[in-house]
Amino acid sequence: MAGIVGVNAIAQNTTTWQGRQCAVVLTYDDALNVDLDNAIPALDSLGLKATFYLSGYSGTLDTRLKDWRAAAANGHELANHTLFHPCTGSLPGRGFVTSDYDLDNYSVRKITDEIRMTNAFLKAMDGKTERTFAYPCGDTKIHDTAYIEWVKNDFVAARGTQPEMPAIDTIDLYNIGCYAINGQTGAELIALVKQAMEKHTLLVFLFHGVGGGHSLNVSLPAHSELLHFLKQNEKNIWIAPMLQVAEYIKQFQTGLK
Ligand SMILES: [Zn+2]
């Protein structure tokens, strides 16, 4: 019987996550300078590819367009984080949301026009026609209306913000959860990866500041420790941008039907 259990374990490992134990997606939000100055050099030094959720209005898309284009040419995903990053201002802790960009004041037409405008902008930057989306602040609705319904065909997947490590067959491709990182140590980040390896799940990291640049921050040493652990375990962990992982999940889930 032990042999049969062994065969099943191998079968599970070879049919999910490109034959590896889990998938890890590194995502970086809001087009910060530190993405270009700290995160991308660290990723590139190890040959790891990540996803960057960019809002069209972000200053770095103007001032550092060449750097973003170089990142895309080097295999990183430039992904859609809307044009103006609207969030629901009525929720607790949302004092930073101005009335002009309060999702409560938006129409579906307005948000979907802005999302499509951002896709056109990103296409002008990288020439790509497929990408993923991330909900600003994780807010998926205008009042009771889930706006993704109008733009699902424009994206392979969308990332939310609920912390979870789902198995491949249970992932909601249009609200993929993630772990928002703020102040964790390298050991704590690596512990999350080990959990995903044990459970054979998807694990998505969400970073804002990397070595500064945002009030939600990961230190450079913690970020570096995580990346080195991923690189050292590349044979067992599939590390790829959200687009590639989401396409794989979509194929897998379609195959199950
Ligand atoms: Zn954001």
Amino acid residing at 199: K
Determine the pLDDT at residue 15.
63
Quote the ligand 1 centre to 232 CA distance (angstroms): 30
Quote the ligand 1 centre to 137 CA distance (angstroms): 6
Contact 163, 204 (CB under 8 A): no
Q: Which domain holds residue 220?
A: 18-256
Quote the ligand 1 centre to 206 CA distance (angstroms): 10
pLDDT at 14 over 70: no
Return the half-sphere exposure (C-beta side, CA atoms, 13 A cut-off) of residue 46: 21
Determine the pLDDT at residue 257.
46
Confidence of residue 7 (pLDDT cuts 50, 70, 90): very low
Give the whole-angstrom CA distance, residue 137 versus residue 162: 11
- Total domain count, the chain: 1
**Domain-located, residue 238:** yes
Determine the pLDDT at residue 75.
98
According to the 3-state scheme, what is the secondary structure of 47-75? CCCCEEEECCCCHHHHHCHHHHHHHHHCC
Quote the ligand 1 centre to 171 CA distance (angstroms): 22
**Domain-located, residue 133:** yes
**Domain-located, residue 10:** no
Q: What is the pLDDT of residues 24-55, one digit of tens each?
A: 999 999 999 999 999 999 999 999 999 999 99
| Helix (H) or strand (E) run with residue 80 in it | strand 77-80
**Domain-located, residue 13:** no
Quote the ligand 1 centre to 69 CA distance (angstroms): 20
Mean per-residue pLDDT for 4-26? 69
Give the whole-angstrom CA distance, residue 121 versus residue 57: 11
Distances (CA, A) of 199 to 16, 79, 167, 232: 12, 28, 8, 19
CATH number for the domain spanning 94: value is: 3.20.20.370
Give the whole-angstrom CA distance, residue 144 versus residue 125: 34
Q: What is the pLDDT of residues 68-98, one digit of tens each?
A: 999 999 999 999 999 999 999 999 999 999 9
